Amino acid sequence: MFPLERPRRLRKTPAFRDLVAETVLTSADLVAPLFVAEGLNAPHPINSLPGQFQHTVESLVREVEETLSNGVSAFMLFGVPEKKDEEGSGAWDPDGITQVALRELKSRFGHDVVLMADLCLDEYTTHGHCGVLTPHGTVDNDSTIELYAQIGIAQAQAGADVVAPSGMMDGQVLAIRQGLDSAGFDDTAILAYSAKYASAFYGPFREAVKVEIANGGDRRGYQQDYRNRREAVREALADIEQGADMVMVKPAMSYLDVLGDIAATVDVPVSAYHVSGEYAMIKAAGERGWIDAPRVALEQLTAVKRAGANFILTYFANEVAEGLNS
């Protein structure tokens, strides 16, 4: 039994623990997802995401300013249009809400921010699916990715540094890359939601963007099945081959194995999205006094980084960054 292992030697004091810590979360690792809604005259609180709002363009600017002052400089924008239609035309309309917000933020904050735009159709379609429907009610892959290319161009034109396709259509990254390049936006990056699972953790998000999928439908026909692990690596590699500059795993906590696999396999930056349901659960338990919410948030986000994420999208971005600075 000699020499006995004594790992506790290195855990004695905060200074020792800091010295040997493998993973340190910083505000630069965080991306704040933000919602901006058309036709509001004041920010509207999202009930199931305490502390998060559907913003007006004006309140969005203030939120970005504050978050930036806490050291978070990347933002993922989601638009909530006033009117939806069958095809989701608000998504690529130059005067659509996301484009309006991108233009405003880019003109105010310039190179101080990395502006990302979620690239999808579900917020803009009456039926709530991520693409256009066939007469049978399934999502038509190939006509959808043509529209995605148009959305990418509109977002880039409005000032997006990064477009982030989240619809899980086959070939979407290639279609968007070709669209961007042909319109002269070869400098606009693509963050692919590569391994995006059909998840019940997106519940509060659907309230945030007022999306209800028609006829009690779901997204299992295009998003991944959570019983599968290996296809996630394949999806990420396919996206990189099509031109993705960065990839994402989503949700985060229930998919750390998937994140670890992808981080070990690919050589582009890897991110994870700590999604609305993950945020809401921590907030709800914290409100009841059952857990210490800020500590749980920090533990979870650090675990996501430990598992291999270079950066993390999280509704906690501003709050956690503020805590890290104090």
Burial 141-164 (b: 16+ CB within 10 A, else e): beebbebbbbbbbbbbbbbbbbbb
Site residues for ligand PBG, 159-198, by CB under 6 A, read 166
DSSP-based three-state secondary structure for 247: strand
Asked if 75 touches ligand PBG (CB under 6 A), the answer is no
Among 63, 118, 239, 261, binds ligand PBG (CB under 6 A): 118
Tokens 């810590």, residue?
A: 21
x/- map, 25-44, ligand PBG, by CB under 6 A: --------------------
Give the residue with the Cβ less far from ligand PBG, 219 or 283: 219
Element (H, E) at 258: helix 256-265
On whether the CB atoms of residues 166 and 211 are closer than 8 A, the answer is: no
C-beta of 118: minimal distance to ligand PBG in Å?
5
84 binds ligand PBG (CB under 6 A): no
Burial class (CB in 10 A: 0-12, 13-18, 19+), 236: buried
Measured from the CB atom, the residue of 34 and 263 that comes closer to ligand PBG is 34
Q: Given candidates 202, 222, 255, 316, which one binds ligand PBG under the rule CB under 6 A?
A: 202
Tell me how many degrees the CA angle 30-283-222 measures, rounded to the nearest 5: 65
List b or e across 79-115, with b for residues whose CB sees 16 or more CB atoms inside 10 angstroms: bbbeebeebbbbbbbeebbbbbbbbbbbeebeeebbb
Catalytic option among 196, 210, 283, 305:
196
Token pair belonging to 40: 């509001």
Q: Is 73 in the site for ligand PBG (CB under 6 A)?
A: no
250 classed as catalytic: yes
Q: Between residues 109 and 273, which has the closer beta carbon with respect to ligand PBG?
A: 273
- Near ligand PBG by CB under 6 A, which window of 97-105, 117-125, 239-247, 297-305? 117-125
Interface with ligand PBG (CB under 6 A), residue from 98, 144, 224, 276: 276
Is the CB of 80 or the CB of 266 nearer to ligand PBG? 80
Residues that bind ligand PBG (CB under 6 A): 118, 120, 122, 166, 202, 205, 219, 275-276
Residues known to be catalytic:
196, 250
